[in-house]
Structure 1
Amino acid sequence: MEVDDRLAELNPKTRTCVVLGGRGFLGRSLVLKLLELGKWIVRIADSAQSLQLDPSESDSSLSHAISKGRASYHCVDVRNRSLILKAVEGSSVVFYMDDADLRAHDFYLCYMIIVQGAKNVINACRDGKVRRLIYSSSADVIFNGSCDINNGDESLRYPGKFENILSDLKAQAEALILHANDIDGLLTCAIRPCNVFGPGDTHLVPYLVNLAKSGWAKFIIGNGENMSDFTYVENVSHAHICAEEALDFRTSSVAGKAFFITNLDPMKFWDFVSHILEGLGYQRPFIKLPARMVLDVFMFIKRMHEKFGFIRYNHSLLVHYVHLGSCSRTFNCNAAQKHIGYSPIVSLQEGIALTIGSFSHLAKDMSFSRCSDLDEPSKADKLLGSGKVAEVLLWRDERKSFTYFIALVLLFYWFFLCGRTFVTSAAYLLLLLSFILYGYGILPPNIYGFTVKRLSSSCFETSEMVVKDSIQNIVHFWNGGMYFIRSVAHGQDWKVFLKVVASIYFLKLILSQFVTTFIGMALVFAFTAFFVYEQYEPEIDGLAKHLINSIKGSAELLTRILPPSAASFLCSYEPSINRTGGPPTVKGPK
């Protein structure tokens, strides 16, 4: 306090401010912005016992300000009113940035820090004769987690049901601070930024990177068309300073009010995610999942965890990001522009670039091509020929793949589950198709304003190229089969002969006893196995490699256990590569 007084005497224009939560994500940015202005003595208040500067801050404006007495640190627990009073006494403005790193499952701690903390801050400001209190709120306080918000403004009321407990408590804290306006000389207002990001972000960007590393960032929740507003962290700090100046000079239009703050540049949420991930070398999301299905899965996992008595995931955070990724949330900042004079000082694209640069330590190996995951086909795609079959079975277009799946399921039911013979089912199907085509052909060209398109003759034609390719594929498979049969007929490789006989016998058993079950399982397998393999390719390959190594280890152990004569007999049948380019040959016993 004495240092503040001495500096104030040397420069009468210098005023003292307090940043509660000054070591958090938003707090650090605001402290630096205040110090840059040069007219503030900044008291940094936070819960840590002492100020520990990061290596990047060793030669920063903050370290220089501390050495010159323009900044000081105060250990404050917002649950302790006397500590708050000691930190804010004698200051002209308090910027309150509450703790954002709280665990939602500890309700009592959240309530004491957010709601009771707000009450303590209000009372300490009154007792300390502080004139202005500016609260860093969030756009989440008017979001119920399910309804879209398009160009929302300050006339929106708090929802009857909040998305999560943290938003509920933050809304209570905001209401307390706004209702405390103009009581005992204290003027208050609140800033509501939407989707804050930037260097030092501890939530959004690290969460996206963790998803990318785990392979879950491939998924788009919802249809991917939802619009969102984002706010670069420096713009949030600028908005707080604008609010302080406006609260000092234009009291009636600012005091007791809340203001939405964004970059004034809404964009698709998943475009923003793609920019961040691609900038750090990760694959952009491209597989769409229904939001309702994802939420149901999370709820099921949550119930299982609660049933077995442990909590492994922050379910409220997961649900928050599901809602964030599937709902539109855009806000009107006209009130902030008009009454506090806010406008972004860093554009959205520039903010994204600065954020990517600050998280270079989380970037994937940059030898990795940023678009390689999109340009380079996956193993599953290569196995399926990288054509139309791959496009359908890998669910590149969900609507198209689902249509094919339903059509194949109906055909499976028609031919195998209706109790008719295959020939009868085929005849009925052809008859049904004939009636449908004939009926479609006699329809009038216009029905109640709906134009009926005629089927052109080209719909029933097949190009010569498709026929040639099909015949070439048949010939290729036939020649391959004949080559294999000739190698078996030579009688030199009895192990291959036994494999062929066993395979044919096993196939005969399946087709004679379980043909319907086999085809049904094959249908489900085709539409799920390749898709799952593409999503978890590294994990599945690693498991397969582990199993192969285990089998090899077991074989080596068996070889050591067996008598020398039996071991040498087994080792004599090792496959060797035919250098002439033919199939592998097997050495006979020595």
Structure 2
Amino acid sequence: MGSQRDGDGSVDRPAKARWCAVTGGRGFMARHLVAALVRSGEWNVRVTDLAPTIVLGPGESEGLLGDALRDGRAVYASVDVCNLDQLIEAFEGVDVVFHTAAADPGKNNLQLHYKVNVEGTKSVIDACKICKFPDAYARTKAEAEKFVMKANGIDDLLTCCIRPGAIFGPGDMILPTLDQYGQTLFIIGDGKNYDDFVYVENVVHGHICADRTLSTMKGAQRSGGKAYFITNMEPMNMWDFLYMVQEELGYKRLFKIRIPLLIIKPISYLVEWGYKVFYHYGMCQPHILTPARIKYTTLNRTFSCNKAIEELGYKPTVTIMDGLKATVESYIQLKNKNISRERK
């Protein structure tokens, strides 16, 4: 791919280059790919690989890659393709991912090759799905998070961000929705996806841990401007969790209905299109049957809290089961109070 040059020999680049990521970016072929992408002038490149820092080879420091790293057209990120958290952070804001990472072919180790080549590729796909936000809420929250992290250290301001998993607890909308469906559990897709649920009090605890950390000079230097995942550290199958909720609500023998993605996805897009056309005529905005909801209910979304444990001193104070029992108890009490008021 050629690049036009001005009379002074400089590359004539588009007004705003897009970002892409190259996994295994220090491999043989990947180095040539990175060079081609930078040379095109159409791309800024996030080079990812296992090494903690990038070590430039002979000629690279004074060449195209060295120049790109110095002027910001290329950046390096240490990423393990089997680590979903690291991948999500590396892919944030990119438009395209070139996945070239692979295990060393010279090592005849089936376990290693399976982990990197198969499980690593699955993680890359999951990270791409999570980073490609289809809904306004997630996109704007991600944008706001960047502002918060960049504000750290400016005018004596100390900041960090908390990234909670799927929050549940007294007052949430999960229980009323599941209670409404009674003994029926609608499973979308293959039903094998995992999620990292977090009890609301653990999210509160995470915020308090962040405040305590930023309140010390050492903690502020270590954690300022960073983001931390907060979960219950008990990842589980999402549909098993919903099944547990319905059982706690008293629905012991659930009738499970599995709906293939090939069927539900087109319907969700049709419903979304219908709302855009007919909302003027009183059509209610869909909340459950939307492409964004369908996507998030079929994704594998598990995160590591190791950084929060090591740097914030975070540790869940309430287990999933204890939190679930407290949530159901609160919901039933509130439901009974409402029934009593209606009867009066």
Residue 162 (structure 2) pairs with residue 195 (structure 1): no
Return the offset for 1:350. 1.0
State the SS of the aligned residue for 1:326.
coil
Give deviations 1:337-389, integer Å, cap 9, x for gaps: 0000001011111111111111115779xxxxxxxxxxxxxxxxxxxxxxxxx
Q: What residue in structure 1 maps to residue 26 of structure 2?
A: none
Q: Distance in 2 between matches of 1:241 and 1:264?
A: 18
Q: Is the 8 A contact 1:180 1:188 kept in 2?
A: yes
How many residue pairs get aligned? The number is 212
Residue 131 (structure 2) pairs with residue 158 (structure 1): no
Q: What residue in structure 2 maps to residue 116 of structure 1?
A: none
Give deviations 1:388-411, integer Å, cap 9, x for gaps: xxxxxxxxxxxxxxxxxxxxxxxx
Return the offset for 1:317. 6.9
The letter of the residue matching 1:277 is: Q
Q: Is the 8 A contact 1:239 1:342 kept in 2?
A: yes
Residue 273 (structure 2) pairs with residue 303 (structure 1): yes
Return the offset for 1:299. 1.4
State the SS of the aligned residue for 1:223.
coil
Return the offset for 1:258. 0.5
1:205 to 166, 172, 175: 175
Q: Distance in 2 between matches of 1:361 and 1:317?
A: 29
Residue 230 (structure 2) pairs with residue 251 (structure 1): no
State the SS of the aligned residue for 1:256.
coil
Q: Is the 8 A contact 1:280 1:362 kept in 2?
A: no
Residue 155 (structure 2) pairs with residue 184 (structure 1): yes
Q: Distance in 2 between matches of 1:205 and 1:163?
A: 25
The letter of the residue matching 1:238 is: H
Shift in CA distance, 151/354, structure 1 to aligned 2, threshold 3 Å: farther
Give deviations 1:174-209, integer Å, cap 9, x for gaps: 1111111100000000100010001122x3333333
State the SS of the aligned residue for 1:240.
helix
Q: Distance in 1 between matches of 2:264 and 2:140?
A: 26
User: 1:115-514 alignment to 2 at 5 Å?
Assistant: 151-153=84-86, 155-159=89-93, 160=95, 161-201=132-172, 203-210=173-180, 212=181, 217-249=184-216, 250-282=219-251, 284=254, 286-308=256-278, 309-310=280-281, 311-315=283-287, 318-361=290-333
Return the offset for 1:163. 2.6
* Alignment root-mean-square deviation, CA: 2.5
Return the offset for 1:304. 3.0
The letter of the residue matching 1:358 is: S
Q: Distance in 1 between matches of 2:90 and 2:255?
A: 32
The letter of the residue matching 1:352 is: L
The letter of the residue matching 1:245 is: R
Q: Distance in 1 between matches of 2:330 and 2:199?
A: 13
State the SS of the aligned residue for 1:192.
strand
The letter of the residue matching 1:158 is: E
Q: Is the 8 A contact 2:191 2:239 kept in 1?
A: yes
State the SS of the aligned residue for 1:322.
helix
Q: Distance in 2 between matches of 1:361 and 1:295?
A: 37
Q: Distance in 2 between matches of 1:178 and 1:247?
A: 13
State the SS of the aligned residue for 2:160.
strand
Give deviations 1:209-248, integer Å, cap 9, x for gaps: 33x15x8x53200111111100000100111111111111
More helix by share: 1
Q: Calculate the TM-score normalised by the size of structure 1.
A: 0.34
Q: Is the 8 A contact 1:218 1:284 kept in 2?
A: yes
The letter of the residue matching 2:310 is: K
Q: What residue in structure 1 maps to residue 39 of structure 2?
A: none
Return the offset for 1:318. 3.7
Q: Distance in 1 between matches of 2:290 and 2:175?
A: 14
Q: Distance in 2 between matches of 1:263 and 1:320?
A: 24
Q: Distance in 1 between matches of 2:83 and 2:225?
A: 24
The letter of the residue matching 1:266 is: P
Q: Distance in 1 between matches of 2:192 and 2:255?
A: 13
Give deviations 1:523-558, integer Å, cap 9, x for gaps: xxxxxxxxxxxxxxxxxxxxxxxxxxxxxxxxxxxx
Q: Distance in 2 between matches of 1:343 and 1:260?
A: 12
Give deviations 1:424-446, integer Å, cap 9, x for gaps: xxxxxxxxxxxxxxxxxxxxxxx
The letter of the residue matching 1:264 is: M
Give deviations 1:277-320, integer Å, cap 9, x for gaps: 12112364622111232121121123234334443233577434
Give deviations 1:557-585, integer Å, cap 9, x for gaps: xxxxxxxxxxxxxxxxxxxxxxxxxxxxx
Q: Is the 8 A contact 2:185 2:243 kept in 1?
A: no
* Larger Rg over CA atoms: 1
Q: Is the 8 A contact 2:269 2:290 kept in 1?
A: no
State the SS of the aligned residue for 1:242.
helix
% identity of equivalent residues: 37
Q: Distance in 2 between matches of 1:277 and 1:252?
A: 45
Q: Distance in 2 between matches of 1:209 and 1:322?
A: 20
State the SS of the aligned residue for 2:155.
coil
Q: Calculate the TM-score normalised by the size of structure 2.
A: 0.56
The letter of the residue matching 1:325 is: T
Q: Is the 8 A contact 2:162 2:229 kept in 1?
A: yes
State the SS of the aligned residue for 1:219.
strand
